[in-house]
């Protein structure tokens, strides 16, 4: 079974509406570090494109969402369990953030149903589970090292698997912490489906 692909014209319309909604959310909560909740389902997904979530891969049927990240925030913790402060540095850190929709008890089937219908009521939270830092591009480095090359190879692999060769980079608003920025990027990844590769800066 192959993954269902969202037509390019529809993907563009969905992305434009998602962008507008996330910008509005960012303006309303730019100074907040509170946990983000799953946005309301875009109208197009409640009326005509529910097959976006009909993936043939059993392993992809999960409430966990992965997004790439590139950040110049100062790191905290070990490289496999990173968190990042709001203090900036001269170095660029690259990795993969894993987020989860709900508290761990929600099933893929219930998330799929919620993501393809206009369900009323409180939406589940999106929480950062882990940030795996893969490489650091130091400000004074003359060339990328092997760790950075491995990260770039991962990006190339993800783009090759997707139906769209574009990398969507989400740039958050002012005073937004890393967890919230990653959660907003995860919403793009979730609602755009497997044909989109998302990175948060």
More confident residue, 193 or 92: 92
Specify the 3-state DSSP secondary structure of 106. Answer: coil
Q: Residue 149 has what DSSP assignment?
A: H
Question: What percent of the chain is predicted at pLDDT more than 70?
Answer: 76
Supply the DSSP string of 10-35, one letter for each residue: HHHHHHHHHHHHHHHHHHHSTT--SP
Q: Which two structure tokens, joined as six digits, stand for 14?
A: 């969905």
Predicted pLDDT at 35: 74
Range with lowest mean pLDDT among 31-40, 73-82, 130-139, 168-177 = 31-40
More confident residue, 5 or 150: 150
Query: Is residue 20's pLDDT more than 90?
Result: no
Residue spans per domain, the chain: 8-200
Predicted pLDDT at 84: 94
Residues 6+ apart with CB under 8 A from 91: 72, 136, 137, 138, 139
Q: Which two structure tokens, joined as six digits, stand for 144?
A: 């990328």
Q: Which band of pLDDT confidence, cut at 50, 70 and 90, is reported for residue 2?
A: very low
Predicted pLDDT at 1: 36
- Mean pLDDT over residues 156-185, rounded? 90
Query: Is residue 54's pLDDT more than 90?
Result: no
**pLDDT tens column, 89-123:** 999 999 999 999 988 888 888 888 888 877 767 78
Distance (Å, rounded) from C-alpha 90 to C-alpha 92? 7
Tell me the helix, strand and coil percentages in the chain, rounded to 5: 35, 25, 35
CA-based nearest residue to 4, from 63, 40, 57: 57
Contact in structure between 173 and 181 (CB atoms under 8 Å): no
């Amino acid at each position: 079974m192959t993954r269902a692909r969202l037509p390019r014209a529809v993907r563009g319309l969905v992305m434009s509406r998602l962008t507008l909604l996330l910008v509005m959310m960012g303006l309303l909560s730019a100074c907040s570090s509170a946990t983000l909740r799953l946005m309301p389902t875009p109208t197009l997904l409640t009326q005509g494109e529910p097959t976006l979530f009909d993936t043939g891969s059993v392993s992809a049927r999960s409430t966990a969402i992965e997004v790439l990240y590139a950040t110049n925030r100062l790191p905290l913790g070990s490289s496999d369990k990173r968190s990042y402060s709001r203090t900036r540095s001269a170095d660029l850190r690259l990795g993969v953030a894993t987020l989860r929709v709900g508290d761990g008890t929600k099933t893929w089937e219930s998330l799929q149903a919620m993501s393809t219908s206009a369900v009323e009521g409180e939406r589940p939270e999106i929480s950062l589970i882990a940030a795996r830092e893969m490489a650091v591009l130091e400000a004074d480095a003359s060339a990328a090292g092997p760790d950075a090359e491995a990260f770039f190879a991962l990006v190339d692999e993800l783009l090759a698997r997707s139906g769209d060769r574009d990398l969507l980079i989400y740039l958050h608003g002012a005073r937004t912490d890393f967890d919230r920025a990653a959660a907003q990027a995860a919403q793009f990844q979730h609602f755009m489906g497997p044909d989109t590769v998302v990175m948060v800066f």
